[in-house]
Structure 1
Amino acid sequence: MKRWFWLAAALLLAVLIPLWLGGSEMLGQLQRFPATVWLAMFAMIGLCWCINALRLRLLLGAMASRLSGRRCLGTVMATEFAICATPGGSGGPLTLLALLGRHGVRPARASAVFAMDQLSDLAFFLCALGGIFFYALFHHLNHSLQWLLTLSALLMLGGLALGMAVVRWHRQVLRCNGRLLRLLGVSAGKRRRWARKLLHFLEAFSDAFKLPWPTLVKVFGLTCLHWAIRYSVLYLALRGLGAQVDWAWTFLIQMLSLSAGQFSLLPGGAGAAELTSAALLAPMVGKSTAAAAILIWRVVTYYFYLLAGGPVFVLMLGRPLLHKLKGAL
């Protein structure tokens, strides 16, 4: 109950920030926003779900035959709902593991699939940052944007280096982890279980890298397509409001805002993403237009994920629980 309270509070805060920033003028802009653009943006999110479902099937390899296309799509929608509804997206991997486990995919394999998915995302954003740095050579960036861009690049490179180090020196990591757990008073049996789980994950992760290169290239291509479509929503919102902003700027604003939201540890970055995007966008288009664009952007890329993914999450995870309860009565 407490978690749902925090989610509701975060959602309320996220809505109040654009309303406070834009005022009554923003409401007038929202009323004039074209309905066709709304439909186009929601269709783009549906396409993103389909792309991610195809990416999941590719990463599962031979195990993909255990899930139908509809099951894959439902798994993606439920997982992304959990990411949006939990602090720092912590519920996403747990949901994916639970859903794939019901189709015979071992937890280690499911964890490796999630890790490969995140690694593909990380590779895309590193490439995108390189493109933005090149774009910045011909366009002036203020000091705040330069600092945020550099910090994002350093954090992504640090995360990639950490992941590679764990894979490369996993024996040393296991020894250090064992010593730390022993100092914390964890029993020898639990330490061995954690070590086995980590070894099974690393084995499954290595197997994922052994997928055929054409498959890995397809996964990365789908990743690029997914994020290019999803990160075009703010650009379309601004165009629908009559504002002229380069697509590259909207991409940078979304990336920095969502990064700030992740560090806030609030569900979906609610509040932090709105404040960061408002601070970056308002000087370009004005407060009311920025507030309207941010609200539209978050409705499509956050609230819609909750509204559409919530019933799928309950249906896929709640139905087995209901069957168990009926069997116990």
Structure 2
Amino acid sequence: MDDFNKISKKTIAKETLFALFAGLIGILLISFLTHNWNFISLIKSFQLSLLLISFLMMIANWFLEAYVLEIITSMLNYKISFRQCLSTFLIGGFFSRITPFGGGGGEPVQVYVLSQENNVKAGDSTAIIAIKTFIGTFVRLAVFLLIPFWFALTKPTWTISRPVNILINSGLILTSLLFLFLIIGLLNPHIIEGIAVKIMQIRFFKKIFREDKIKKGVESLKKIVEDFKNAKNKIFQSNSKKIYYAFFWSFISWGLVLFTPVVLMRGLGINSPWPEIVITAVIFYISSAYIPTPGGSGTSEIEILALFARLIPQPLIGVFVITWRLFTHYFLLLSGGLLTLRKFRKGKSKTP
């Protein structure tokens, strides 16, 4: 627990404030563009039951993500409680929302929390999160690859601006590269080790770190890679049924995420075709994963406005964007942030 306090509190506070500030700017801009300053009166137009269902879908997504993590950790014979897995997921979600390029900001923290909080070996925790990330990325790409078939069958009239199109293509390319990197790492982790060792030998790093520190880091990395390799082999060779369960529940979790905007629109009385809503949501999540603002705060709101403008009339699009982001982004940021703060305080109280 004490090791958790080695993370810079000042940096976390600064990035959190920046993420919230960027989000506030985005929400204000959405309100201005959609003439939606009367947010409170418009939100009353929601059908309360559907608003509640969409909120519960988000909570169910959290629980399923935690359950998938619990499944993977159990493959290595670690008995980590569901509550701790949920805590690990939420803390990772918080960090992914306060770091630039939020598509991958939370995973290193999840590795750290698993290792330090649950006595999981560094290599094992790396393997657990890498495999969970691989499964999640595979599920997202699998759904994304269905889009061309849907376009061919339905031939929708869809006009997307050039900047949004560039963002979508960039997100797809970066996600595909991440997927390729994960496959290489899973098949041959020594390649990643070799790349990391070469990076450590760059003159820039030699000026920052002493030679003995670099040597110690390389030795530690080799041990982590070896542990990772053993953990990966154990997971894939002796627990095939559990792997299938992990993929299945990841698909269900992803489905909850994609159908949340459908339920929100129905709650506003908007009857746009659900396949178009789901496909638009897929495009948003793939393209926004690597926006350089903390967790995509601020800029994601603008992208949602651009992508969904054809499906939602004014001024309802403003209340839709704000509500969706509050449910799926800012509420997790708040929940994960409170858990992170709690761990800092608990660690401080145990420090002599």
Paired letter, 2:34:
G
Q: 1:136 to 1:211 in 2, by over 3 A?
A: farther
Q: What SS is found at the alignment partner of 1:23? A: coil
Q: 1:167 to 1:60 in 2, by over 3 A?
A: closer
Does the aligned pair in 2 maintain the 1:108–1:201 contact within 8 Å?
yes
- 1:99 is matched with 113
- 2:230 is matched with 203
CA distance in 1, matches of 2:298, 2:54: 22
Q: Which moved more, 1:295-304 or 1:174-183?
A: 174-183
- 1:124 is matched with 139
Partner of residue 216 from structure 1, selected from 243, 252, 264: 243
Q: 1:167 to 1:33 in 2, by over 3 A?
A: closer
Q: Give the TM-score, by structure 1 length.
A: 0.87
Q: 1:169 to 1:309 in 2, by over 3 A?
A: closer
2:77 is equivalent to residue 55 of structure 1:
no
- 2:149 is matched with 134
The residue correspondences of 1:132-171 to structure 2 (distance < 5 A) are 132-137=147-152, 138-140=154-156, 142=158, 144=160, 152-171=171-190
Paired letter, 2:110:
L
Cα deviation 1:235-288 (Å, max 9, x = unaligned): 111111121222232223223333443322222211221111111111332342
Paired letter, 2:184:
A
Q: What SS is found at the alignment partner of 1:249? A: helix
CA distance in 2, matches of 1:122, 1:24: 35
CA distance in 2, matches of 1:285, 1:213: 44
Cα deviation 1:295-326 (Å, max 9, x = unaligned): 111011012112333323333453123221xx
In the TM superposition, residue 234 of structure 1 has moved relative to its aligned partner by 1.1
CA distance in 2, matches of 1:3, 1:147: 27
- 1:257 is matched with 284
The structure richer in helix per residue is 1
Percent identity for Structure 1 against Structure 2: 18
Q: What SS is found at the alignment partner of 1:243? A: coil
Partner of residue 109 from structure 1, selected from 106, 121, 124: 124
Does the aligned pair in 2 maintain the 1:58–1:64 contact within 8 Å?
no
CA distance in 2, matches of 1:307, 1:170: 35
- 1:33 is matched with 46
Does the aligned pair in 2 maintain the 1:261–1:269 contact within 8 Å?
yes
The residue correspondences of 1:1-329 to structure 2 (distance < 5 A) are 1-24=13-36, 27=39, 28-62=41-75, 66-89=79-102, 91-101=105-115, 102-137=117-152, 138-140=154-156, 142=158, 144=160, 152-184=171-203, 186=206, 187=211, 189=215, 190-324=217-351, 328=352
In the TM superposition, residue 2 of structure 1 has moved relative to its aligned partner by 2.6
CA distance in 2, matches of 1:306, 1:169: 34
Does the aligned pair in 1 maintain the 2:134–2:182 contact within 8 Å?
no
Paired letter, 1:125:
R
Provide structure 1 residue ranges, at least 5 long, that are not aligned to the other structure.
Answer: none
Q: What SS is found at the alignment partner of 1:263? A: coil
Q: Which moved more, 1:222-231 or 1:301-310?
A: 301-310
CA distance in 2, matches of 1:152, 1:261: 7
In the TM superposition, residue 80 of structure 1 has moved relative to its aligned partner by 2.0
Does the aligned pair in 2 maintain the 1:166–1:173 contact within 8 Å?
yes
Paired letter, 2:197:
G
- Count residues in correspondence: 325
Q: Which moved more, 1:125-134 or 1:112-121?
A: 125-134
Q: 1:231 to 1:318 in 2, by over 3 A?
A: farther
Cα deviation 1:151-201 (Å, max 9, x = unaligned): 554443332223223444544554454344323254351333334333433
Cα deviation 1:73-99 (Å, max 9, x = unaligned): 233223222322333335522432333
Paired letter, 2:132:
D
Does the aligned pair in 1 maintain the 2:53–2:263 contact within 8 Å?
no
Does the aligned pair in 2 maintain the 1:26–1:289 contact within 8 Å?
no
Q: 1:209 to 1:141 in 2, by over 3 A?
A: farther
Q: Give the TM-score, by structure 2 length.
A: 0.81
Paired letter, 1:227:
W
Paired letter, 2:49:
T
Q: 1:299 to 1:171 in 2, by over 3 A?
A: closer
Q: What SS is found at the alignment partner of 2:290? A: helix
In the TM superposition, residue 221 of structure 1 has moved relative to its aligned partner by 0.6
